[in-house]
Amino acid sequence: MKKMIVASTSTLHGQKPLAYLNEELTAFFKGIEQILFIPYARPNGISHDQYTGSVASALLNIGKLVGIHEFNDPIDAIKKAQAIYVGGGNTFLLVKTLHDLDLFTPLRESIEKGTPYLGTSAGSNICGLSMQTSNDMPIVYPSSFNTLGTLPFNINPHYQDPDPDSTFMGETRETRIKEYLTQNETPVIGLREGSWLDIKHEKITLRGPFSARIFKKKQPPYELASNALLDFI
């Protein structure tokens, strides 16, 4: 019953928020009057109200947005939501807040029953089995790294390829993901900017103009072409 868009980012360079997904989201949220927004990741430390307001403006022509923090009972808000959008920011903060408020179970149940779910960046990170392939700083300490598990792999949003001409001596994304796989079994999908996963029921399709980088334990990374199915995971 799942109906999800899991995107690497909300905003492409030089564009307004969610502009590159406008056509997709118009169809995705068709018939939806109100979208429940979860702003707990708080990018740049902005308030829940500020974050919700900025996203509401971006989705003005698609649907009315209301922040979950405006409800007295966030669990009930999730259960009654027509559609849900979890935005980006700091994944550690998002995961800690969702665990503290006991929201992972109702969120998972809503997704499984077919409530449309949009996730970008941190909101995409939490769709995997754990948040351990996040790029974010651990600014808070969640009670668990476990997340929704609505996808059978982990995601690395904003995936960037190594630059052969760079003099940067720190770890690349590829190096960090390979390091993760020395200690864990879960495959990782590197989602480049402008790419997203289209999930209908159990069918997962890569969308957007770019391929994705696939990482599996004890295997060389490889590319998955746009519009390909991820049924091999």
pTM for the whole thing? 0.96
Kindly report, residue by residue over 159-198, the tens digit of the pLDDT: 998 777 776 656 899 999 999 999 999 999 999 999 999 9
Q: What is the pLDDT of residue 60?
A: 87
pLDDT, mean over the chain: 95
Q: From start to end of 100-177, where are the E strands?
A: 117-120, 154-156
The pLDDT value recorded for residue 169 is 57
The stretch 23-40 carries a mean pLDDT of: 96
Q: Which of 32, 75, 70 is nearest to 53 (CA)?
A: 70
Least confident range of 55-69, 93-107, 122-136, 154-168: 154-168
pLDDT digits (tens, 9 = 90+) for 123-155: 999 999 999 999 999 999 999 999 999 999 999
In b/e form, how buried is each residue of 1-11, taking b as 16+ CB within 10 angstroms? Answer: ebbbbbbbbbb
Amino acid 170: pLDDT: 66
Compute the distance between CA of residue 1 and CA of residue 146 in angstroms, rounded to an integer.
22
pLDDT at 233: 67
Spatial CA neighbour of 74 closest among 91, 62, 86: 86
What architecture is the 3-224 domain classified under in CATH? 3-Layer(aba) Sandwich (3.40)
pLDDT of residue 171: 81
- Helix, strand, or coil (residue 97): helix
Q: Tell me how far apart the alpha carbons of residues 173 and 175 are, in angstroms, rounded to a whole number.
A: 5
3-state secondary structure 166-216: CCCCCCCHHHHHHHHHCCCCCCEEECCCCCEEEEECCEEEEECCCCEEEEC
> Among 39, 56, 57, which Cα is nearest to 47's?
39
Tell me the average pLDDT across 43-68: 95
Inform me whether the pLDDT recorded for 89 exceeds 90.
Answer: yes
C-alpha pair distances (Å), 160 with each of 117, 179, 198: 25, 16, 21
Percent of the chain whose pLDDT exceeds 90: 89
Query: For the chain, where are the E strands, in sequence order?
Result: 3-7, 34-38, 64-67, 84-86, 117-120, 154-156, 188-190, 196-200, 203-207, 212-215, 222-224
Average pLDDT of the segment spanning 216-230: 97
User: Under DSSP, is residue 119 helix (H, G, I), strand (E, B) or coil?
Assistant: strand
Looking at residue 205, its pLDDT comes to: 98
Model pLDDT for residues 190-220, shown as the tens digit of each residue: 999 999 999 999 899 999 999 999 999 999 9
- SS3 label, residue 161: coil
Please state the domain extents for the chain. Answer: 3-224
pLDDT score recorded for residue 42? 97
Question: What are the residue numbers of the active site?
Answer: 121, 136, 158
Amino acid 13: pLDDT: 84
